[in-house]
């Protein structure tokens, strides 16, 4: 949806979503609509707490994470750390952390929660990084030139429904087996091959 058709969120309705605690299915904290939200509504706008250029290596990521204030580091550690990572990525961050458990946890948070930005970099947003994936999302990320992220609804979202975005193009994997309603429902319209992740 073009930015000029987005219904802007005012300060008084910037709390259209809340953060729900751990779900019974094992999913961590996530965004949930706190009220009925119309299609095309900007739920919130957020600046990144960390942005990393595309060409940056993990050493630079580690340095930027260590330069953050303790309060921001604590906020980052509240994001998901439980998703699995490829063994080669784990080996890299274990070596970088050199026994520093907090740095290891922050690097895991970065790898699991960072969001790709249009300029090819990646960023962590304290609210938006809590949006879980669905192959049938009800919201999407939009970015401006300053890497401000807007979370905008793609369809009406009733109060209590989880706010979901798509992490990837059709057919790609993200390091987990998708269990969204679209992937759990038989579908004879699109090809679907289930592989162990």
Q: What is the pLDDT along the chain (197 residues), one digit of tens a residue?
A: 333 333 334 333 357 888 777 655 556 678 899 999 999 999 999 999 999 999 999 999 999 999 999 999 999 998 887 778 889 999 999 999 999 999 999 999 999 899 989 889 999 999 999 888 888 899 999 998 889 999 999 999 999 999 999 876 544 444 555 555 545 555 444 444 333 33
Domains, the chain, with CATH or none: 3-47+126-184 (2.170.270.10), 55-124 (no CATH)
Q: Which residues of 152-185 are buried (b: 16+ CB within 10 A; e: fewer)?
A: bbbeebeeeebbbbbbeeeeeeeeeebebeeeee
Establish how many alpha carbons lie within 13 A of residue 154's alpha carbon, considering only the half-sphere containing its beta carbon: 13
Spatial distance between the Cα atoms of 120 and 114, rounded to a whole number of angstroms: 12
pTM here? 0.75
């Amino acid at each position: 949806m073009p930015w000029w058709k987005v219904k802007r969120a005012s300060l008084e309705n910037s709390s259209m979503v809340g953060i729900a605690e751990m779900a019974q299915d094992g999913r961590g904290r996530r965004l949930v609509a706190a009220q009925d939200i119309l299609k095309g509504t900007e739920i919130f706008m957020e600046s990144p707490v960390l942005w990393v250029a595309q060409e940056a290596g993990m050493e630079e990521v580690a340095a930027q994470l260590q330069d953050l204030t303790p309060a921001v580091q604590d906020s980052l550690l509240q994001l998901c750390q439980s998703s699995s990572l490829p063994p080669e990525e784990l080996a890299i961050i274990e070596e970088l952390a050199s026994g520093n458990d907090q740095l290891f946890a922050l690097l895991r948070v970065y790898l699991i929660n960072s969001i790709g930005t249009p300029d090819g970099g990646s960023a962590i947003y304290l609210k938006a990084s809590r949006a879980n994936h669905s192959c049938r999302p009800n919201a999407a990320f939009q970015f401006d030139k300053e890497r401000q992220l807007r979370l905008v609804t793609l369809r009406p979202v009733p109060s209590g429904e989880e706010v979901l975005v798509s992490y990837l193009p059709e057919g790609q994997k993200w390091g987990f087996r998708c269990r969204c309603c679209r992937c759990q429902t038989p579908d004879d319209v699109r090809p679907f091959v289930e592989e162990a992740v």
